[in-house]
Chain A
Amino acid sequence: MAYPTPTPWLNARAEARLANVLLYGATAAVLIFFYIPIFTLIAFSFQEGRYPTLPFEGVSLKWYAALFQNSSAGDALYNSTVIAVVATLFATVIGSAAAIVAVRYRFRFRIPFTGLSAAPLAFPQLLLGIVLLLWFSVLGRTFNFNTGIVTAIIGHVVYITPFAMVIVAVQVFNFDATLEDAARDCGATTVEVYRYVTLPLLWPGIFSAGIFAFLLSWGNFYLTYSLAGSTRTLPTFVFSGIATGSSPLYPAIATVVFIPGILLVILADRIRRKG
């Protein structure tokens, strides 16, 4: 294709400088943007007064003390942990297996399989929650059960498994299959190939998938809100708090919710860089 040679409106150096200013500026601005509400919450959790407004009446830890004496907050913490641990285990195992199948194997219905396994990724969570709530209500009427912690876990697994699958799939994609063949040629059984070759090589992907899964479940609001019945987790507990009028207790809960997130993300990064 022939293009007319345009007269540059900037010389090359000015152009590069402008690009750098724009790019670094945008990145810095977005990082600040991302952390505004997070730091606002952390700051307000140390507020002495009854209302989360500025200026502070004083700095104190009393809302954290109140949090630890509040038994429903404790229950919420416990429920969040149970749901996140169980959902992570299921989602990571099912998602990793599905990723290997989708990337490595050629079989009939491969595309429908991949589509079905990844579909909930692009489905709004609230609608997924509603659709599942209807399903569990109809099933519950037939088999006589109520929504609760188990239905919440099922909902989380449905939503999180595709994320785990996509993350592990990236790892499987860069996986050198000849290593497995080599192990097999040396006389390793199928189980041994998995134990000593496949899993160690896929481990970084599976590990990140697990961390992602845990955090998605730990902080999930929409699905828990629809599916957990009367069971409260930390996010739904905070949501009910916003509705009834805020006190610095809720920023304190939010800050507590952040802690495992920060630790896990840093841990994952450390391990990934070593591996």
Chain B
Amino acid sequence: MSGEIDRSWRDPELLAKALPSVILQTGFFLAPLLMTMALTFQRTKNFQLTWTWSLETWTDIFTKPHYWTILGHTLFMAITCVVLCLLIAFPVAYALATRLRAYQNHVKVLITFAFLTDATLKTFGWVLFLDKNGAANYIARLTGFEGDAVNILFTDWATMLGMVYNLLSFAIFTIYLSIDAIDRSLILAAYDAGASKFRAFWEVTLPLARPGIWAASVLIFLLAVGVFLEPKVLGGGKSPMSAELIRQTFETRVNWPLGAALTLVLMVVAVFIVLLFNRIYSLKRHMGPI
């Protein structure tokens, strides 16, 4: 609908609108990122950064399996989280787009509010809920379970619960938008051609919703590799994930080059996996329906 207008960078109107964002993201996103890369080639001495170029940090990273074990664990948790989020979010997004006519707005408002509430607070709420003397066990005891029926706090299960909880809304919104954008007449055409409801869903709706599902997966995966709160607060810090390791490297060990290098490794591996899946995904699409 909107007509696009040709503009040159010499146009003051374009400059006035584009420059603030460019300056902001160059000065406080791109530049810090580049500096972080440069930092990985420096040394530390007595907890102080010295600007001398060296490969010490990188040899350290590539020779110690410890970092890679944690990275592997992080990736495993992140991928599990993506799968769970998609499985849970899809029916909700579908219901939001195709059912719930009268209550659609209420449900959206409820989900938005839960999403916008700070993750620290919600995670803390889960601790209180899952605690041995917390609400979950209280309810379990009332309903006749013996002892501490709910005993997952400070395990990976609790971490996963927290991750899914905090990232699920991203999946619901992204998939909802893609289902909502589907042209209804295509589905009606499938019915006219004799498809059952399920068949129309499987062969029309689902393929058309794929971009949304894909976008949700990428977004959740990239955010899930960076979680720190859930493994620390819900997982009790027992099996640390990369972000926690990075934070410790900066705060406790005060080794900036190592922390910077670990940050980069995490981001590069995460982006690499996204590209890899993207490749598989587009290959599959060329080979026909899955």
Which A residues are within 8 Å of any B CB, using their own CB?
6, 8, 12, 15-16, 19-20, 22-24, 26-27, 30-31, 33-38, 40-41, 43-44, 51-55, 93-95, 97-98, 100-101, 103-109, 113, 116-117, 119-128, 130-135, 138, 154-155, 157-158, 161, 165, 172-178, 190, 212, 215-216, 218-222, 235-236, 238-239, 242, 246, 250-251, 254, 257-258, 261-262, 265-266, 269, 273
Contacts and interface: CB of A to CB of B under 8 A. Distances in A.
Interface string B111-138: 1111011111111111111010111011
Nearest to A11: B196
Contacts, number: 286
Contacts of B20: 93-94, 97-98
A37 B123 contact: yes
Given A98-B18, A131-B263, A219-B121, A38 B197 contact: no
A122 B219 contact: yes
A124 B32 contact: no
A33 B256 CA distance: 39
Interface residues of B, number: 96
A37 B135 CA distance: 10
Contacts of A31: 107, 110-111
Contact of A103 (B2, B9, B135): B2
Interface in B196-228: 196-199, 218-219, 222-223, 225-228
Contact of A219 (B33, B98, B99, B117): B117
Given A97-B21, A161-B21, A250-B124, A43 B116 contact: no
Contacts of A178: 3
Nearest to A215: B116
B278 interface: no
Contact of B95 (A23, A54, A126, A235): A23
A266 B137 CA distance: 33
**Dominant SS at the B interface?**
helix
Nearest to B15: A101
Contacts of B172: 30
B24 interface: yes
Contact of A97 (B8, B17, B225, B260): B17
Interface of B: 1-9, 13-14, 16-18, 20-22, 24-26, 28-33, 35-36, 39, 88-89, 91-92, 94-96, 98-100, 105, 107-114, 116-129, 131, 133-135, 137-138, 165, 168-169, 172, 196-199, 218-219, 222-223, 225-229, 233, 243, 246-247, 250, 256, 259-260, 263, 266-267
Contacts of B16: 97
B246 A130 contact: yes
A125 B31 CA distance: 17
A6 B202 CA distance: 14
Nearest to A137: B256
A106 B5 contact: yes
Contact of B124 (A30, A41, A154, A216): A41
24 contacts: A20-B99, A26-B88, A26-B92, A27-B92, A27-B95, A30-B88, A31-B111, A35-B114, A37-B124, A51-B133, A54-B135, A106-B7, A107-B8, A119-B29, A126-B228, A127-B263, A127-B267, A128-B29, A134-B256, A215-B117, A216-B116, A242-B127, A251-B128, A261-B117
